[in-house]
Amino acid sequence: MIDVTLEHVSKQFGSVKGVEGIDIHIKPGEFFTFLGPSGCGKTTTLRMIAGFYYPSGGRILFGRDNVTTLPPNKRNTGMVFQNYALFPHMTVFENIAFGLQVRKVPKPELIQKVERIQKLVHLEGYGSRRIDQLSGGQQQRVALARALVIEPNILLLDEPLSNLDAKLREETRLEIKRLQMELGITTIYVTHDQAEAMAMSDRIMVMQGGIVQQIGSPEEIYHRPVNRFVASFIGESNLWQGTVVALEDGEAVLRFDFAPELRLRGLIHNAASACKLEKGASVTVSIRPEAIVEASTKQDEAASLTNTVQGKVTISEFTGVSVNYLVHIGDTPLKAMFVGIGHHVRQRGEEIVFHIPKESIYFLG
Ligand code: ATP
C-alpha cells in the first residue's frame, strides 16, 4: 500500500490549459475518484500519475519517492484504459501474462500468477480464448487482470465501465470495489458518472475547467457542496437565488422574487464556507428533490407560508421506487421526489403543496 501526493501539479498543452494547481494526498489503500464533465482534466491528471505525460509544473510523489519525470514502466502502476487496449490476436492468457513476460518472470511463477488472477476476476477456463471471442464485460475483466497481475502499488482506472451496458456497469462496479477492498490497493478512478463515483469511492475530487472544485467523501460532497457547480453536478438540486431578510435564533430567512409571499427559513450552520449570510445579501439555496415533503394538511399551508410552497404539476413520473415531479411556481421550476407507499400521485395540471424542512436547506455563495 502506498500513498500518492500531487503538489501544485499543472499541465499546459501549448496554449491550452489541461489542469492547474492540483494539490491532493491520496492515502494508502484509498479508493479515490476524479469526477467531472468532459474536458475537465481528469484523464490528464491520471496520465501524469501513470507517467504518460510529464507535468508542466509541480511534483508527484509515490510514498516519499519523487516520480514526477519517471517513465511509466518504472512506476509500478497498473492501468485499465477506457477501450481496454488489449491485444486482439492474443489469447486471454497471453494478454494477462504480457506484463510478467516483459519483466522476465520465470515460466512456472508466471503461470501460477496468471491463474491466480484469472480466478480472482472469474475468468477461469477462458485462458485459451481469443479476445475477439469475448463479451465486452469479459474483455473488461481481462484488462483488469492484466493491470493487477504485475502486483502494482497503484491501480489506475480510466472510465473502465463506459463501454458496458447499464446493468453490467452496475455489476462490474461492485466487482471492482470488491477486488480493490480484497487487495487493499491504492486506486485512482476516473469517471464522469457521479452515481458511479458516489457508489465506489472513499473520496472524490470534483473538477471543472482543469481546476479542483472540491475534495471530500461522497457524503460531504453531496450534503455540503462548496459551490453551485458541485451542487448541480452531484445529484439533483433546486437552486434558487434569494435575499436574506432576517437572521435570528441560528436561522436565516430568505425571500424570493418569483414568489413574494414565500419565506424560506434555514439553519445558518448549513452554509458553504464561501457564503456570507448577512441581511440584504443575495444567496443561492440548494434544495435536494428528495428532501421535500408533501405538506400534511391545508392548515399547515394556512398557518404559515414559511417553507411551504404551492405549485402546479408539469411532469409527474411514477418510477416504482419513487414519484418524481417537476412543478412550476409561476415560471420557476421545482423538482421533488417522493418515496414510499401511500402517496397519491398527482397528474399534470394539478396543484400540490410542499413543505421544505429547514434542515434540508443549504446556503451556497
Ligand atoms: P473526457 O472525459 O472527455 O476524457 P477529461 O476530463 O479526461 O475529459 P482531459 O482529457 O484531461 O479531460 O482534457 C483536459 C483539457 O486538456 C481539455 O481542454 C483537452 O482538450 C486538453 N487536452 C488533453 N490532452 C491534450 C493534448 N494531448 N493536446 C492538447 N490538448 C489536450
Give the pLDDT of the chain (365 residues) as one tens digit per residue: 899 999 999 999 999 999 999 999 999 999 999 999 999 999 999 999 999 999 999 999 999 999 999 999 899 999 998 888 898 889 999 999 998 998 899 999 999 999 999 988 888 889 889 998 898 889 989 999 999 999 999 999 999 888 888 888 888 888 899 889 988 999 999 999 999 999 999 999 999 999 999 999 999 999 999 999 999 999 999 999 999 999 999 999 999 999 988 999 999 999 999 899 999 999 999 999 999 988 866 545 545 668 999 999 999 999 888 999 999 999 999 999 998 777 788 899 999 998 999 999 999 97
Give CA separation, 16 vs 56, 62, 93, 266, 357, in Å.
12, 27, 41, 42, 45
Sequence length of the chain is 365
Ligand 1 centroid from CA 57, angstroms:
17
C-beta of 36 in contact with ligand 1 (< 6 A): yes
Ligand 1 centroid from CA 9, angstroms:
15
Ligand 1 centroid from CA 34, angstroms:
13
Closest CA to 179 of 95, 139, 121, 96: 121
Atom of ligand 1 lying closest to residue 47 CA: 11
Q: Is the ipTM of this complex over 0.85?
A: yes
For the domain made up of 4-226, give the CATH fold: Rossmann fold (3.40.50)
Please identify which residue in the block is written with the cell numbers 486471454.
Answer: 92
What is the distance between the alpha carbons of residues 365 and 241, in angstroms, rounded to a whole number?
A: 10
Closest CA to 148 of 76, 51, 43, 46: 76
C-beta of 13 in contact with ligand 1 (< 6 A): yes
DSSP class of residue 237?
A: -
Please identify which residue in the block is written with the cell numbers 477462458.
Answer: 126
**Contact partners, residue 142, CB within 8 Å, separation at least 6:** 84, 86, 92, 95, 96, 121, 123, 131, 134
Ligand 1 centroid from CA 54, angstroms:
14
Give CA separation, 265 vs 159, 276, 311, 355, in Å.
41, 16, 19, 11
Ligand 1 mutation target, pool 22, 34, 40, most atoms within 8 A of CB: 40
Is the separation of the CB atoms in 25 and 2 below 8 Å?
no
The kind and range of the H/E element at 220 are helix 218-223
Check residue 219 and give its pLDDT.
96
Atom of ligand 1 lying closest to residue 16 CA: 30
Is the separation of the CB atoms in 239 and 66 below 8 Å?
no
- CB count, 10 Å around CB of 141? 25
Ligand 1 centroid from CA 52, angstroms:
13
What is the distance between the alpha carbons of residues 101 and 92, in angstroms, rounded to a whole number?
A: 14
Is the separation of the CB atoms in 187 and 220 below 8 Å?
no
Check residue 305 and give its pLDDT.
66
Nearest CA residue ID for atom 7, ligand 1: 43
C-beta of 38 in contact with ligand 1 (< 6 A): yes
Check residue 298 and give its pLDDT.
57
Please identify which residue in the block is written with the cell numbers 414510499.
Answer: 340
Tell me the angle at which helices 136-148 and 107-120 cross, rounded to the nearest 10 degrees.
130
Ligand 1 centroid from CA 44, angstroms:
6
C-beta of 41 in contact with ligand 1 (< 6 A): yes
C-beta of 43 in contact with ligand 1 (< 6 A): yes
Closest CA to 150 of 101, 83, 189, 190: 101
Q: SS3 of 158, please?
A: strand
CATH number assigned to the domain with residue range 236-364, chosen from the 4 options 3.40.50.2300, 2.40.50.140, 1.10.760.10, 1.20.1250.20 = 2.40.50.140
C-beta of 225 in contact with ligand 1 (< 6 A): no
In the structure grid, which three cell numbers stand for residue 236, read together?
Answer: 439533483
Q: For 102-117, write each residue's pLDDT tens digit.
A: 889 999 999 999 999 9
Extents of the domains making up the chain: 4-226, 236-364
Is the separation of the CB atoms in 4 and 68 below 8 Å?
no
What are φ and ψ of residue 77, in 5° steps?
Answer: -115, 150
Atom of ligand 1 lying closest to residue 192 CA: 2
